[in-house]
């Protein structure tokens, strides 16, 4: 009886001391996290989230504001996020196909609408095939480690999107980072990497933070000279850049010259969610077999797929929407100059 009592006391002390230790560890972690949060505040980079209480549109309602506000912040370049046809397609798919698949694509998560959208994307870009992801971040995370190995090299613009940078970090290829749009440095790196099995030049089409455009013609010339492939993230170009919204290569009148295109469905093309890779069918087939974000993420929900499909239907053979973007941009610059503002144009080629 005494031994049992002693054991009980010892166990209580053990659990009490373990609990104190866990609380101490958590408290220490909280202090570390709070210090990091304070550093962000002091650096002036704290990102506060405004709470919108309406649909995404030109005019929006924001929590705490009495009047509606003009919205110049969204990537809703074509205004399709709340377009009646896009919304109606999402509602209809919710009724017919359900809210989601509860599965990855290769088990039981591929519906006819998924393949229809992939084929529509490929047709839009005039490529062999396309593969859908939960986001373009996932598309970028899933590409490089599948395509490139330790015998390859990837040459990346220093201002590429964070998802491109992170995707490149996941692969085993030798990594080169050239100064933004610096073709002399890129050429030097191409010369240095001549012994590589494959070389991939990776760049954004339109750089979202600076408004610059990749010098695609010069990149293509270098790729031809040094037998390199070209990858372009077109997230801030697809749907509205170029005469019919086909992006950077159309803008430079070089359609079909980019080897691999990644882009998003979450900006101009409906604004809901999702991303994709489009290019040679051999690459797309390999991504279906080995791309981890594709293999281990649930399929895009049917309403998202249908909404994005409707957005493509609106722009597939109609340049009205990209034309409107260009007209509005010119009008905005002109009117701002009229009232005394200096407009800095950063669209550098």
List, for residues 289-325, the tens digit of each pLDDT value. Answer: 999 999 999 999 999 999 999 999 999 999 999 999 9
Q: At 192, is the pLDDT very low, low, confident or very high (cuts 50, 70, 90)? A: very high
Instruction: Read off the DSSP letter of residue 171.
Output: S
> Taking residues 342-348, what's their average pLDDT?
71
Tally Cβ neighbours within 10 Å of residue 28. 10
| C-alpha torsion 117→118→121→122, nearest 10 | -140
**Of the listed 83, 267, 291, 299, which one is catalytic?**
267
The predicted pLDDT at position 167 comes to 98
Output the pLDDT for position 210.
Answer: 86
**What pLDDT score does 5 carry?**
64
Average pLDDT value for residue range 15-26: 75
Name the catalytic one among 236, 272, 291, 307: 236
Q: Is 83 a catalytic residue?
A: no
Q: Provide the sign of the torsion angle of the four alpha carbons 144, 146, 147, 150, taken in this order.
A: positive
Report the pLDDT value the prediction gives residue 18, as an integer from 0 to 100. Answer: 66
* pLDDT at 288 exceeding the cut of 70: yes
Average pLDDT estimate for 251-259: 96
User: What pTM does this model have?
Assistant: 0.91
What crossing angle do the helices spanning 302-315 and 84-97 adopt, rounded to 10°? 140
**Buried b / exposed e along 249-272 (16+ C-beta atoms within 10 A):** bbbbeeeebbbbbbbbbbbbbbbb
Mean pLDDT score, 140-163:
98
C-alpha to C-alpha distance for 315 and 303, rounded to whole angstroms:
19
Q: Sign of the CA dihedral 244, 262, 155, 286?
A: negative
Please, are residues 164 and 233 in contact by the beta-carbon 8 Å criterion?
Answer: yes
Residue 17: the pLDDT is 67
Q: Which of 61, 82, 208, 297 is catalytic?
A: 208
pLDDT digits (tens, 9 = 90+) for 81-108: 999 999 999 999 999 999 999 999 999 9
Helix pair 302-315, 320-338: axis angle to 10 deg: 80
Residue from 52, 211, 54, 233 nearest 135 by CA: 233
Average confidence (pLDDT) over 10-18 = 64
Using only the alpha carbons of the chain, give its radius of gyration.
Answer: 25
* 236 labelled catalytic: yes
High-pLDDT (> 90) share of the chain, %? 89
Task: Give pLDDT, residue 7.
Answer: 63
Is the pLDDT reported for residue 9 higher than 70?
Answer: no
CB contact at 8 A, 240 and 270: no
Average pLDDT over residues 60-77: 94
Q: Does the annotation count 67 as an active-site position?
A: no
pLDDT score for 11: 58
């Amino acid at each position: 009886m005494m031994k049992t009592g002693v054991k009980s006391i010892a166990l209580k002390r053990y659990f009490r001391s373990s609990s104190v230790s866990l609380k101490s560890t958590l408290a220490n972690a909280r202090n570390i996290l709070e210090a990091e949060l304070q550093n962000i505040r002091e650096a002036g980079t704290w990102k506060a989230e405004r709470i919108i209480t309406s649909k995404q549109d030109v005019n929006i309602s924001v929590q705490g504001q009495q009047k509606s506000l003009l919205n110049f912040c969204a990537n809703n370049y074509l205004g399709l996020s709340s377009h009646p046809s896009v919304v109606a397609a999402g509602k209809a798919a919710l009724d017919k196909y359900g809210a989601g698949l509860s599965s990855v694509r290769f088990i039981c998560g591929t519906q006819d609408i998924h393949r229809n959208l992939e084929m529509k994307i490929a047709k839009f870009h005039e490529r062999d095939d396309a593969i859908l992801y939960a986001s373009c971040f996932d598309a970028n995370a899933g590409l490089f480690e599948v395509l490139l190995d330790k015998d390859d090299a990837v040459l990346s613009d220093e201002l590429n999107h964070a998802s491109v940078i992170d995707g490149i970090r996941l692969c085993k290829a030798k990594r080169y980072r050239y100064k933004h749009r610096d073709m002399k440095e890129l050429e030097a790196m191409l010369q240095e990497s001549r012994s590589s099995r494959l070389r991939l030049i990776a760049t954004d089409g339109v750089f979202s933070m600076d408004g610059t455009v990749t010098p695609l013609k010069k990149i293509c010339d270098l790729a031809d000279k040094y037998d390199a492939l070209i990858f372009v993230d077109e997230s801030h170009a697809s749907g509205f850049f170029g005469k019919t919204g086909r992006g950077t290569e159309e803008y430079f009148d070089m359609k079909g010259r980019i080897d691999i295109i990644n882009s998003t469905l979450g900006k101009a093309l409906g604004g809901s969610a999702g991303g994709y890779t489009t290019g040679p069918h051999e690459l797309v087939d390999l991504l279906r077999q080995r791309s981890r974000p594709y293999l281990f993420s649930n399929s895009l929900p049917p309403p998202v797929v249908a909404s994005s499909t409707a957005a493509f239907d609106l722009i597939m053979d109609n340049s009205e929407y990209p034309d409107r973007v260009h007209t509005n941009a010119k009008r905005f610059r002109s009117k701002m100059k009229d009232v005394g503002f200096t407009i800095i144009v950063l669209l550098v080629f």
